[in-house]
Amino acid sequence: MNKQIVVAINREYGSGGRTIGEMLSKDLGIHYYDREILKLAADESGINEALFDKIDEDSETRSLFKAARTVYTGELLSPGSKDFTSERNLFNYQAKVIKMLAESEPCIIVGRCADFILRDYENVVRVFIHAPKYYLLEQAAKKKSLELRDLDRYVDRINRSRSDYYLRYTGQEWADAHHYDICLDSSKLGFERCVEIIKGYMKVRYDGLEF
């Protein structure tokens, strides 16, 4: 790819957003970042990676449901601060890594509010992948051996966790189409066509872009 474009993907659990991101990464020959961002943030900050795991957007152990919103502003606290390992500062270190990536290489970034963190970057394409509930359950069943009722609850819990995470750090609604350049229903399009649509949008928006 002849331009430094970043694709930031948010996705409902079961929609195949992660798979679409991986396919796009392979197709374009650029790096794919998901949980690797947690390790990079740990390396950048010197904070144990396990603490980043606890506040990950899919985590079922964090306390976001009880916590007040701490909308991202970019401020980083020093190691001497009593709040150095607070959830807010851990998120801010992830955001720092995401910005560093966007400024240094073309890549795919999945989740972690990358679309919001990079909202002022012209080189970023923001994508939301979604699907009807029946499809989310069908896809989730391929990974989770659960009874239908338990699977339904699991899918809802993960998506609620992602939505709450997004709201806390952005002050915005996760599934609001206004935040994205493209919203795709993977149940109607399939993964390969989603990849092609994203690439087509990139070519139109960034005139002269070549893959």
Counted domains in the chain: 1
Q: Is residue 167, in this structure, part of any structural domain at all?
A: yes
pTM of the model: 0.92
Q: What is the mean pLDDT of residues 57-74?
A: 63
Q: Is residue 211, in this structure, part of any structural domain at all?
A: no
Q: What is the mean pLDDT of residues 62-78?
A: 68
Domain range for 201: 6-205
- The 10s digit of each residue's pLDDT in 97-127 is 999 999 999 999 999 999 999 999 999 999 9
One-letter identity of residue 150: D
Lowest mean pLDDT among 38-52, 56-70, 72-86: 56-70
Q: Is residue 157, in this structure, part of any structural domain at all?
A: yes
CATH number of the domain encompassing residue 117 = 3.40.50.300
Q: Is residue 27, in this structure, part of any structural domain at all?
A: yes
Lowest mean pLDDT among 27-36, 68-77, 85-94, 184-193: 68-77
One-letter identity of residue 57: E
Q: Is residue 1, in this structure, part of any structural domain at all?
A: no
Contact between 96 and 102 (Cβ < 8 Å): no
Q: Is residue 210, in this structure, part of any structural domain at all?
A: no
Q: Nearest Cα to 115, choosing from 104, 128, 103, 105? A: 128
Banded model confidence at residue 59, pLDDT cuts 50, 70, 90 = low
pLDDT value of residue 78: 84
pLDDT value of residue 71: 83
pLDDT value of residue 50: 92
Q: Over 60: is that where the pLDDT of 20 sits?
A: yes
Q: Is residue 37, in this structure, part of any structural domain at all?
A: yes
